Amino acid sequence: MPNTRVTHFKPSAAHVAIIMDGNGRWATRRGLPRLAGHKRGVERVREVVEACPELGVTHLTLYAFSTENWKRAEDEVAGLMRLFRWYIRKEAAKLVEAGVRLRFIGNRSRLDEGLQKLMASVEDMTRENTRLNMTVAIDYGGRDEIIRATERMIDAADAGELKRSCLDEDTISRFMDTGGLPDPDLVLRTSGEVRISNFLLWQAAYAEYNFLDICWPDFTAETLSHCLENYNSRERRFGAVMG
């Protein structure tokens, strides 16, 4: 990790979710293959993961591959899948040592069997870790997640495990991919795009958003620190009127 100085404080944004956008554009602007940008983006993940506990962040959710990303060029998709495997193999032991619990959300059934096994293996290896809860969204889309959660609720109702009278926000949250995790406090998106791109539609209903002009490979621990400082300066009303 680069020797980056960060501001140390206890933020109220305990759960930060990030749409890691702009890897391909970062590479193209430098005359590099798009996959070079994705590789640089993966390297940035480590810096952010290492910085989170120092900044008081207990939960980090990263949008790595969306349901729409399957539409990209075949060689780019294949390269991204190789990067996912490379990251898991390279970082698994380090995550255990650093006390990071890694989980995946999304429709992993569409991923190849070898990658699914790697994902399950690192989830099991890091299950007891508590220093940072890291969630990576792969083949994830908010609408797709809601559909799959609805299917799970219907199955539970058919099995007599869920009653209509018990259907409330907490129950629905339990059936989402993120069941058991807190909702994000702050959602960040890099690359200058100002949209949420089907990310955590249910969970981020009351989150604060920050859209950054930089591409993800230029995102640093210092950037995260500044975003948290900005979050702390906001007045969160949740529909109430403050005096």
Strands (E), 1-155: 15-19, 59-66, 100-105, 132-140
218 catalytic, yes or no?
no
Look at residues 14, 13, 19 and name the one whose alpha carbon lies nearest to residue 196: 19
The answer to whether the CB of 131 falls within 8 A of the CB of 98 is yes
The two structure tokens encoding residue 227: 């975003």
Task: Please count the residues of the chain.
Answer: 243
Active-site pick, 3, 21, 124, 133:
21
**69 tagged catalytic:** yes
Distance CA 39, CA 27 (A): 10
Residue of 62, 203, 80, 186 whose CA lies nearest to 145: 203
CA angle, residues 222, 228, 234, in degrees to nearest 5: 145
Q: How far apart are CA 203 and CA 221, in angstroms?
A: 24
Q: Just list the catalytic residues.
A: 21, 69
